Amino acid sequence: MQVGVVSQIWRYPVKSMGGERLQRCQVEDVFGVAGDRGWALWDEEAGELRSAKQLPGLLHCSARYREEPCGAAVPPMDIELADGRIVASDDPQASAHLSAALGGRLRLCARRPADDLDHYRRARHIEDPIAEIRLSAELLPDEPVPDVNLDDIPPELFEFATPPGTYFDAYQLHVITTASLAELARRTPDARIDVRRFRPNIVVDTGAEVHGFLEFDWCGRELRIGAARGQAVLPMMRCAMTTHAQRDLRKEPAIMRTLVRAAQMNFGIGVTVTNPGAVRVGDTVEVV
């Protein structure tokens, strides 16, 4: 069943920084969109990988590769800081520049092999997932934590900041629809709903006649996106990063209030790649 067409493709060279909007990409079976989250920042004091949850200033930076990534290789890239300065990843002073701009003692790291477990391990093992969800989502005291089946959460995420071998939060691809963006905008009329807040890889144009958080119904089924195939796993539970200010977007706490009320804090879906392939803007998207 065709459910729409690819309207946007995004990849993010550095975890939590603004990314690149592409016209085409190669979707790979381990790394998702080639080059996605190829780099991240390591906090020397905390002894842990960092994201915008701990360093909101990352959202005011953006990055672009200088050459097209392929496979496990992570090519050099350029980072634009909030003040417009450019930091090259191969500059020996890159980590120092980022530390000065973002605060702390930070080290820019290219993605490492999956067997380098100490690189990916959390400094503090998550013992109380429900409390962690409440904290990361910045829930109000009277807002309930969604009814979460902890068995649905990959257990490695309690021990590791990201799945070893990648800098993803959980899944290889993040897919959202224009129907969900429109539904969120309808329910949060005073907020600016911008796709950049949700950091998708693939935005599916589902047409003006379809409404609601459509992609939730795809979970458990196969997606065909251009020449690539994947398994839609779960709705993506969101944290407060979706509400934080970035570049020309102001802070919008109302977004989380709506997601709590209307969608169990979820927006978009996580997809695991089952068959690699090329994807272009305009390609059809099918649910099997």
pLDDT in tens, 143-188: 988 877 767 777 777 889 999 999 998 899 999 999 999 999 999 9
How far apart CA 257 and CA 243 sit, in angstroms, is 10
Q: Could you give the number of structural domains in the chain? A: 1
How far apart CA 171 and CA 162 sit, in angstroms, is 10
- Decide if 228 contacts 278 (C-beta within 8 A): yes
Boundaries of domain holding 70: 2-287
Average pLDDT on 206-213 reads 93
Strand order through the sheet with 48-50: 48-50, 39-43, 106-110
Q: What's the pLDDT band for 136 if we cut at 50, 70, 90?
A: confident
pLDDT at 117: 95
Residue-averaged pLDDT of the chain: 94
Average pLDDT on 215-227 reads 97
How far apart CA 81 and CA 98 sit, in angstroms, is 8
The 3-state DSSP class for residue 63 equals strand
Q: Put residue 12 in one of left, alpha, beta given phi > 0 → left and psi -120 to 50 → alpha.
A: beta
Q: Is the pLDDT of residue 124 over 90?
A: no
Q: What's the pLDDT band for 128 if we cut at 50, 70, 90?
A: confident
Helices H / strands E in the chain, number of each: 6, 17
Q: What's the pLDDT band for 134 if we cut at 50, 70, 90?
A: confident
Instruction: State percent of the chain over pLDDT 90.
Output: 84
Q: Please report which residue ranges of the chain form alpha helices under DSSP H.
A: 94-102, 117-120, 129-137, 156-159, 178-187, 254-263
Q: Is the pLDDT of residue 66 over 80?
A: yes
Retrieve residue 4's tokens: 């729409």
